[in-house]
Amino acid sequence: MFQIVTVTQLRKQKGRYALYRDGEEEPVLSVHEDIMIKYRLLKGAWVKESDLPFIRAEDDRHRAYSLAVAYLGAKPRTRKEIERYLARKELEPEIIALTADRLEAERFVDDADYAVQFARQRARSQGKGRLRIKQELLQRGISRTQAADAVEALDPGAELEAAVKAASKKWPYVKGEFRERKMKLSQFLMRRGYTGETVRQAVQEVVRELDEPDDTDWLDN
């Protein structure tokens, strides 16, 4: 057992304190004020050596949760994004998993809902196709099943409308012979993640508006 002889607030870490015992220059503990109050870690208090691992573990859980909530404050995140962020903060895998579980239980993190909202936003405001959106969801740690469900929920009509809009804007800037221009336009839409069928319909629509002959059968091959 030892006695806390000095308590110093850490200047660059809001709400955190360093606790010192007699005869040592380095702090025996560095904890958040909530943990300090819970365990009554005040100047003059006596602490059991055997309690230190438990205090440190609870402080790590508190720190991980606080960091995660602050990270979520900027915008919604997936569980995997939270885990990656906390790993960069050099927290233990067990603490990270417990924090992610707690956030899911409290509905701060919901990958299924995130996937649906993300897919709608990307399709509506960025004009991306479902294949591109699905890939981005996977990169963010969404499961294949949840990613597939999210893109399947997209409105096919709205997706085609967005593809036609993107194609119409792109068409005047595509150079080459007419057939070559259509191939380039199709490739442009494919890079945006639209399916082959959506690309074919969008190109046909642009051609129809221009009153040009259609020869997009090559897309079926």
List beta partners, residue 16: 32
Whole-number pLDDT of residue 215:
54
Whole-number pLDDT of residue 207:
82
Q: Show me where the domains of the chain are located.
A: 1-47, 155-221
**Number of residues that this document lists for the chain:** 221
H helix or E strand, kind and range, residue 186: helix 178-191
Question: Does the pLDDT at position 138 exceed 80?
Answer: yes
Taking residues 10-27, report their average pLDDT.
90
Give, in order, the Cα–Cα distances in Å from 187 to each of 109, 179, 184, 191, 194. 36, 12, 5, 6, 10
Q: Dump strand ranges (E) for the chain.
A: 2-9, 16-21, 29-32, 46-47
Question: Does the pLDDT at position 36 exceed 60?
Answer: yes
CA distance 68 to 81: 10
End-to-end CA distance of the chain: 78
Which 8-state DSSP code applies to residue 4?
E
Domain 155-221 coded CATH 2.60.40: no
Q: Binning pLDDT at 50, 70 and 90, where does residue 129 land? A: very high
Q: Quote the tokens at residue 189.
A: 């839409």
Are 5 and 21 in contact by the 8 Å Cβ rule? The answer is yes
* Mean pLDDT, all residues of the chain: 91
pTM for the predicted model, two decimal places = 0.79
